[in-house]
């Protein structure tokens, strides 16, 4: 089974997008599809970026831990909300602090909003940043509108007839990229 890390990006007290991190954690582990774990940026609580890990003289344990987890993951799922047409500063912090760790990493993007547009603009800005990092973003996206109507606080889908085919298609593409990456690398 693949090791997959799920980055949960929102650090708001009343965050909703974390429901998707829980959804994918449960889906992957309960169906024995992967060894999944959540990298919760609210728990990491990184300071505002001021230097890349490579150039830090005495990096914090949590930065080293995050770097090691991204590095050792065979694939990553990033769950991000949309804030003012982009992705949150918490996630930019976590992306910018690393470099080599992101390179060629298969990454699936999950966007979330509480409105009808499902974080479609955050997707575009995040894809561009990850492209600059030479990350391998998979082409299947998972975009969730109206979060509170579609997933509960424990990460259960409230409309499995809609979510399951989308989940299968998203994970199929992520797994394909992980396998292809292994064959090349």
Ligand X SMILES: Cc1cc2nc3c(=O)[nH]c(=O)nc-3n(C[C@H](O)[C@H](O)[C@H](O)COP(=O)(O)O)c2cc1C
Positions in the binding site for ligand X (CB under 6 A): 10, 12, 15-17, 81-85, 112-115, 117, 147
> 15 or 104: whose CB is closer to ligand X?
15
Minimum CB–partner distance for residue 16 and ligand X (Å):
4
> 17 or 93: whose CB is closer to ligand X?
17
Minimum CB–partner distance for residue 153 and ligand X (Å):
11
> 144 or 177: whose CB is closer to ligand X?
144
> 124 or 162: whose CB is closer to ligand X?
124
Minimum CB–partner distance for residue 85 and ligand X (Å):
5
Cβ-proximal residue to ligand X, closest one:
81
SS3 of the chain: the string is CEEEEEEECCCCCCCCCHHHHHHHHHHHHHCCCEEEEEEEHHHHCCCCCCCCHHHCCCCCHHHHHHHHHHHHCCEEEEEEECECCECCHHHHHHHHCCCCCCCCCEEEEEEECCCCCCCHHHHHHHHHHHHHCCCEECCCCEEECCHHHHECCCCCECCHHHHHHHHHHHHHHHHHHHHHHHHHC
> 71 or 125: whose CB is closer to ligand X?
125
Minimum CB–partner distance for residue 56 and ligand X (Å):
28
- CA 121, 127, 130, 131 torsion: positive or negative? negative
Q: What are phi and psi of 77, to 5 degrees?
A: -115, 125
Minimum CB–partner distance for residue 51 and ligand X (Å):
26
């Amino acid at each position: 089974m693949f090791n997959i890390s799920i980055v949960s990006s929102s650090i708001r007290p009343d965050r909703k997008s974390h429901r998707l991190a829980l959804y994918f954690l449960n889906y992957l582990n309960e169906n024995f599809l992967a060894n999944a774990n959540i990298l919760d940026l609210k728990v990491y609580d990184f300071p505002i970026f001021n230097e890349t890990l490579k150039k830090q003289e005495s990096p914090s344990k949590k930065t080293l831990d995050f770097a090691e987890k991204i590095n050792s993951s065979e694939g990553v799922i990033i769950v991000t909300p949309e804030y003012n047409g982009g992705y949150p500063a918490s996630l930019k912090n976590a992306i910018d602090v690393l470099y080599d760790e992101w390179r060629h990493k298969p990454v699936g993007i999950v966007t979330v909003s509480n409105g009808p547009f499902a974080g479609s603009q955050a997707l575009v800005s995040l894809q561009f940043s990850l492209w600059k990092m030479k990350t391998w973003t998979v082409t299947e996206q998972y975009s969730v509108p109206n979060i509170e109507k579609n997933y509960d606080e424990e990460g259960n889908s409230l409309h499995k007839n809609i979510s399951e085919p989308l989940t299968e298609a998203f994970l199929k593409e992520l797994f394909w990229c992980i396998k292809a990456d292994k064959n090349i690398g």
